[in-house]
Amino acid sequence: MTWLFRAISWLPLAFLHALGGLLGWLVYGLSPTYRRRFKANVAQAGIAWPEARPAIAAAGRMAAELPWLWVAQKGRPLGSKLQWDGAEHVEAALAAGKGLVLLTPHLGCFEICAQAIAERFTTPEAPITVLYRPARQASLREVMAGSRERPGLATAPAQLSGVRQMIRALRKGEVVGLLPDQVPPEGLGVWAPFFGQPAYTMTLAARLVQQTGAAVLLIWGERLPAGRGYVVHVLPAPDIAPDASPEAAAATVNAAMESLIRRAPGQYLWGYHRYKQPRGLDIGAAPPTP
């Protein structure tokens, strides 16, 4: 797997995105389960099909660009491939010195967000720490471990030790990032509406803000056409009250994720199994759909 990743990584980004677009349509055409879930999630969100349809190809581009992002760009500046929109929000949050939580859904190129922050705002001594879930395949875990970590960027596993690592980083005034629309393991989430349907939602994002007093911002990486690169968008986030209940805080976070997704539905990962039941969770625990 490592040698294949390295070989693919040196292909032009435009070629990888073109190849990935074909891959996205191939998976969509060959997997009835994926296709049904994709369409059901789009319908649940109330997104018009023409707006969401480009996300079929975008899902393949997300996979195809990983070798370029993880290997070819390691240790190299993103240069002309990167544009910023809202960088001043990051500057202001870091100036406050209370730490910064960055939240992004499975939208566009979320891998580019951490790399962009590391390149412009953080250092090896005070990196951005991102939460990740290790791959199931041993060969891919090896590639991820060696490629994601780089100067100014550290990773934290999605387990208790990783949560402690992120809290320590925030208390030192550093940056952390996570995808709050990931379905957490049983016991680590609450039921909160997501596009009008109850979804088991992680409490970690809000807890990090409530326990440390850190600032919170929304961020997402727009994938430009024809392999031209990416635009990292940073926006203010809604306030998470220190005394908000886990359910209320999770609902606030979900609403913020919805607002980002509606900006670019053609780049959201609609095939993600957002409404699944976490393993070990009683299906009867889910509240009824309003």
**pLDDT for 151:** 85
Side-by-side strand order, sheet with 153-157:
82-85, 230-236, 215-223, 100-103, 175-178, 128-132, 153-157
Look at strands 197-202 and 189-194 and give their pairing: antiparallel
**pLDDT for 83:** 97
**pLDDT for 137:** 62
In the chain, DSSP assigns E strands to 82-85, 100-103, 128-132, 153-157, 175-178, 189-194, 197-202, 215-223, 230-236
**pLDDT for 147:** 62
User: Could you tell me if 280 and 44 are in contact, meaning their C-beta atoms sit under 8 angstroms apart?
Assistant: no
Interatomic CA distance for residues 29 and 44, integer angstroms: 21
Low-confidence ranges of the chain (pLDDT < 70): 1-3, 72, 134-149, 279-290
Q: Which two tokens stand for residue 185?
A: 């393991």
**Angle, vertex CA 80, rays to CA 79 and CA 86, nearest 5:** 85
SS3 2: helix
Does the global pTM surpass 0.85?
yes
**pLDDT for 135:** 63
Backbone dihedral region for residue 62 (phi beyond 0: left; psi -120 to 50: alpha; all else: beta): alpha
**pLDDT for 140:** 63
**pLDDT for 203:** 94
Q: Which two tokens stand for residue 13?
A: 């980004």
**pLDDT for 159:** 81
SS3 195: coil
Interatomic CA distance for residues 209 and 212, integer angstroms: 6
**pLDDT for 283:** 45
